[in-house]
Amino acid sequence: MSAASCLLTEDQFLCSICLDVFTDPVTIPCGHNFCKACISLHWDTKVPYQCPNCKKLFHTRPDQLVNTFISEMAAQFRQSAQQKASSSSSEQHVVKPAKVPCDACTGTRLKALKSCLVCLESYCETHLEPHLTRAGLKKHQLIDPEENLEGRMCVKHDKLLELFCKTDQVCVCMLCTYSDHNKHDVVPLRERYEGKKSEMGKTEVEIQQMIQKRRLKIQEMNRSVELSKEGADREIADGVQVFTALKQSVERSQAELIDTIKEKQRETEEQAEGFIKELEQEISELKKRSSEVEQLSPSEDQLHLLQSFTSLNAAPPTKNWTEVRVRPPSYEGTVVRAWTQLEETLSKQMKKLLSEVELKRVQQYEVEVTLDPDTAHPKLILSDDGKQVTHGDVKKNLPNNPERFDIYGTVLAKQSFSSGRFYCEVQVKGKTEWDLGVVRKSINRKRKITLSPQNGYWTIVLRNGNQCKAFAGPRVRLSLKSQPEKVGVFVDYEEGLVSFYDVDAAALIYSFTGCCFKEKLYPFFSPCPNDGGKNSTPLIISPVNHTE
How much is the pLDDT for 92? 43
User: In whole angstroms, what is the distance from residue 396 CA to residue 391 CA?
Assistant: 12
For 471, residues 6+ apart whose C-beta sits below 8 A from its C-beta are 451, 452, 457, 459, 460, 461
pLDDT confidence bin for 145, thresholds 50/70/90? confident
How much is the pLDDT for 501? 94
User: In whole angstroms, what is the distance from residue 198 CA to residue 190 CA?
Assistant: 12
* Cβ atoms 528, 440 nearer than 8 A: no
Q: What percent of the chain stands above pLDDT 70?
A: 91
Look at the pTM and tell me if it is higher than 0.85.
no
- Cα angle vertex 318, ends 313, 324, to 5°? 155
- Cis link prior to 316 (omega < 30° from 0)? no
* Cβ atoms 179, 188 nearer than 8 A: no
Please state, rounded to an integer, the average pLDDT across all residues of the chain: 84
Return the H-helix or E-strand segment holding 435.
strand 434-440
Closest CA to 378 of 419, 415, 411: 411
For 173, residues 6+ apart whose C-beta sits below 8 A from its C-beta are 153, 154, 157, 159, 160, 161, 162, 163
User: In whole angstroms, what is the distance from residue 490 CA to residue 363 CA?
Assistant: 8
- Residue 429 pLDDT > 80, yes or no? yes
How much is the pLDDT for 3? 41
How much is the pLDDT for 290? 81
Q: Where are the beta strands (DSSP E) in 180-264?
A: 186-188
For 406, residues 6+ apart whose C-beta sits below 8 A from its C-beta are 377, 378, 400, 445, 446
Q: DSSP letter string over 498-526?
A: EEEEETTTTEEEEEE-S----S-EEEEEE
* Cβ atoms 28, 51 nearer than 8 A: yes
> Rounded mean pLDDT of 376-399?
92
- Residue 89 pLDDT > 50, yes or no? no
Per-residue pLDDT tens digits for 166-217: 999 999 988 898 888 988 999 998 888 888 888 888 899 999 999 999 999 9
Q: What percent of the chain stands above pLDDT 90?
A: 34
